Structure formats: C-alpha cells, structure tokens
Amino acid sequence: MGACFEAPTTPFGYNELGVAGALRQRPVELVQGVSVPEKAIARAEIVIEGELLPGVRVREDQHTNSGHAMPEFPGYCGRR
C-alpha cells in the first residue's frame, strides 16, 4: 500500500508507510532483514533482499560463461 503513494500525493522523502498506517488505522509492522541491514514489511508475501552497488556491473552469465543473457528474464528464447 505504501508503494502506491508517489508524487504529487507525497513529496520526495515523505514517509509513505506512515500514510499507509494512517489509512489502516494501525502501524505498518516492520522486521529486520535477513541478509541486509534494512527493514522489511512484516508478513509480506515476498521480500527480495540485495544490494545495488553504484558503478558495479556483473555479467548475467557470470556462473555459466555461456555468453548469453538469461532468456526468461527479458522474455525471449536464447540459443538451444
């Protein structure tokens, strides 16, 4: 629910989870992340944890060295 609040509804840096909690009339519960030191919404169906490092690129085929991208991600079929 909090992800739905964007400009101009809430200005940059505004607490969207506070708005979501106000609509629900109770706080949005948060839990500590498992692999990163960040909070996640408790009882979320899916939480994806990770890091995006500025200026760092990783090849999609870094483990297979096939020279091909993962075809299921962009929606096309690679070489067979």
Cis before 8 (ω within 30): yes
Burial of 41 (0-12, 13-18, 19+ CB in 10 A): middle
Considering 6, 49, 51, 72, which one is annotated as catalytic? Answer: 72
User: Catalytic annotation on 38?
Assistant: no
Active-site residue list: 72
